[in-house]
Chains A and B, each alone.
Chain A
């Protein structure tokens, strides 16, 4: 069965871009959320295989959302994304419970597969 993903990002255009790219690569987009509160609600409701979480959200920091997601649903796999440098964010994302970090410009299905496998 195709893996399902929840996209959490407040930039409309990015969500469209990622949905297009991931569906092309065989993923199913279970849902989208535009802020932290929405992300928590959607994760609980949809139980996706993966959450793609943007660092910069309007209502709370992405890292805060990451912590709450992992606290509430420890089996949830979260990958943190950002336009910022991966070198800056990789360590802290992982320290807070993420599986890894991807720069948005590198976000293809293949890159995700590689990160989740490795």
Chain B
């Protein structure tokens, strides 16, 4: 009886401050070993991944060679159900006493026990509500007959220890889960702000700190509306919260919508917001997930603007064509018509005059055809379609009003959209030199296909000062952006202009 009481109390005292399950085992093992004045105690549990295998999860050994050596062997040993002392107790569910482990043929660790001076051995089950959750064994320095009192005491300790271990395990699991949750919030890219039913901030994650400009400590406990809701929207926010708390149907919960928010410095910016009510007992708690969509808005606006520009460019091109046709080729044909009519009127009485008129009409007609050809080339040069960049760029250089040199151009054909874009980069660049430069030496054109990109560069040594946002270049930039390429214009005043375009183009 006394043994039992002492053992129970010793173990209870030992595990009272245990930090976790492993710690509880070690302290209990130390108390048990001290209680029976034995040099070694070990705890075993079924392996997590192989429930039919027993592993040693904790060992307490006296600071001597024999016990330490046996502790090493024990740690390294795996036992199956029915195997070895712990395995037998696991199978039978009853505490077991072995008089002399060093001579017991049934024990896998017999030889190690003999070498270490381990003789008497006892093993008892550790029990909880779930049943048998582990085993504890102890080894003594001399062979001994079974001690009934000790066995009974150890049985009780088994139940005591079982409860402690289970409780600690549950706490650990809860703690790890909370740690994971915290870590998730800390790492989240989106802002997570939690608010109580009075509208005060309960949590403010690091993303929210960065986005809004408040330290978490400065935000928690304060009215969320005052911190991050723009002034003109606060009343609506408070009314909504009041209405929900009074039993009204939720209007903003569980869906994403866009709204304005406010930073610490008072600046307003757009966010995408979703609010959920967290499932905790007691007064409602709301979590808001916010994402700064300023960049997305800017990208959408830019997309709309570039679309509008592209449509305008198309309209402008059509107007230009109409005007070129009307002012150019059509006028030529009118001249031809008048000349032919007048020739016909004079055919009988004045053939010489008629012949002269016909010659003039032929000349006008030739000019009209040349204008039409030029116009067609400006719309879409046939040679580019038929022969690719090489002949088309050579043609541009040949017809260029300013001296131009084609340094390099790929001989292979490329996707049509890429060839067209490259062609117009060169054409527009040459036009700009003609239009704006007062002193141009030589224009160099360099087109290379390399690393999955077509690189088009047009360099002149004229005055520089080109406006990258100017109409022709802007239209080019849009055309190249559609192909996911880039256009760069370097034009320092007085220093020549370089137009550099890169267009993705599979090799």
A positions within 8 Å CB-CB of B: 11, 13-14, 17-18, 21, 24-25, 83, 104-111
Chain B binding site: helix, strand, loop or mixed by DSSP? helix
Let me know if A105 and B331 touch, CB within 8 A. no
Identify which of B334, B345, B353 gathers the most chain A CB atoms within 10 Å of its CB.
Answer: B334
Chain A residues, Cβ within 8 Å of B335: 13, 17
Let me know if B342 and A105 touch, CB within 8 A. no
Chain B residues, Cβ within 8 Å of A25: 342
Let me know if B334 and A111 touch, CB within 8 A. no
Chain A residues, Cβ within 8 Å of B330: 83
From B331, B333, B338, B357, contact of A107 by CB (8 A) = B338
Chain A residues, Cβ within 8 Å of B326: 83
**Given A11-B327, A83-B326, A17 and B341 touching (CB < 8 A)?**
no
Which residue of chain A lies nearest to B331 when distances are taken between CB atoms in the complex?
A13
Shortest distance in angstroms between A40's beta carbon and chain B's nearest beta carbon? 24
Chain A residues, Cβ within 8 Å of B338: 17-18, 21, 104-108
Let me know if A14 and B334 touch, CB within 8 A. yes
Which residue of chain A lies nearest to B332 when distances are taken between CB atoms in the complex?
A13
Let me know if A105 and B337 touch, CB within 8 A. yes
Alpha-carbon gap, A107 to B332, bound state (A): 14
Given pairs A17-B334, A108-B338, A110-B341, 10 additional interface contacts (CB within 8 A) = A13-B327, A13-B332, A17-B331, A17-B335, A21-B339, A24-B357, A104-B338, A108-B345, A109-B342, A110-B345
Which residue of chain A lies nearest to B327 when distances are taken between CB atoms in the complex?
A11
Which residue of chain B lies nearest to A24 when distances are taken between CB atoms in the complex?
B342
Chain B residues, Cβ within 8 Å of A104: 334, 337-338
Alpha-carbon gap, A104 to B339, bound state (A): 12
Chain A residues, Cβ within 8 Å of B342: 21, 24-25, 108-110
Which residue of chain A lies nearest to B333 when distances are taken between CB atoms in the complex?
A105
Q: List 21 A-B contacts (CB under 8 A).
A: A11-B327, A13-B327, A13-B331, A13-B335, A14-B331, A17-B335, A17-B338, A18-B338, A21-B338, A21-B339, A24-B357, A83-B326, A83-B330, A104-B337, A105-B334, A105-B338, A106-B337, A108-B341, A108-B345, A110-B341, A110-B345
A-B contacts at CB below 8 angstroms, number: 43
Alpha-carbon gap, A12 to B119, bound state (A): 125
Chain A residues, Cβ within 8 Å of B334: 14, 17, 83, 104-105
Chain B residues, Cβ within 8 Å of A13: 327, 331-332, 335
Top 9 closest A-B pairs, CB basis?
A: A105-B337, A17-B335, A13-B331, A104-B334, A108-B341, A105-B334, A21-B338, A108-B342, A110-B345
Chain A residues, Cβ within 8 Å of B357: 24
Beta-carbon contacts under 8 Å, B329-359 to A: 330-335, 337-339, 341-342, 345, 353, 357
Query: Residues 314-334 of chain B: 1 if any A CB is under 8 Å from the residue's CB, otherwise 0?
Result: 000000000000110011111
Chain B residues, Cβ within 8 Å of A105: 333-334, 337-338
Chain B residues, Cβ within 8 Å of A18: 338
Shortest distance in angstroms between B144's beta carbon and chain A's nearest beta carbon? 124
Which residue of chain B lies nearest to A16 when distances are taken between CB atoms in the complex?
B335
Identify which of A11, A13, A18, A25 gathers the most chain B CB atoms within 10 Å of its CB.
Answer: A13
Shortest distance in angstroms between B204's beta carbon and chain A's nearest beta carbon? 66
Chain A residues, Cβ within 8 Å of B327: 11, 13
Which residue of chain B lies nearest to A109 when distances are taken between CB atoms in the complex?
B342
Which residue of chain A lies nearest to B357 when distances are taken between CB atoms in the complex?
A24
Chain B residues, Cβ within 8 Å of A111: 341
Shortest distance in angstroms between A62's beta carbon and chain B's nearest beta carbon? 15
Chain A residues, Cβ within 8 Å of B341: 106, 108, 110-111
Alpha-carbon gap, A21 to B353, bound state (A): 12
Alpha-carbon gap, A11 to B334, bound state (A): 12
Alpha-carbon gap, A111 to B334, bound state (A): 15
Beta-carbon contacts under 8 Å, B132-180 to A: none
Which residue of chain A lies nearest to B336 when distances are taken between CB atoms in the complex?
A105
Alpha-carbon gap, A106 to B330, bound state (A): 14
Chain A residues, Cβ within 8 Å of B337: 104-106
Shortest distance in angstroms between B327's beta carbon and chain A's nearest beta carbon? 6
Alpha-carbon gap, A14 to B364, bound state (A): 12
Shortest distance in angstroms between B277's beta carbon and chain A's nearest beta carbon? 69
Which residue of chain B lies nearest to A81 when distances are taken between CB atoms in the complex?
B334
Alpha-carbon gap, A24 to B357, bound state (A): 10
Alpha-carbon gap, A109 to B330, bound state (A): 21
Chain A residues, Cβ within 8 Å of B353: 24
Shortest distance in angstroms between B360's beta carbon and chain A's nearest beta carbon? 8
Shortest distance in angstroms between A111's beta carbon and chain B's nearest beta carbon? 7
Identify which of A11, A17, A104 gathers the most chain B CB atoms within 10 Å of its CB.
Answer: A17
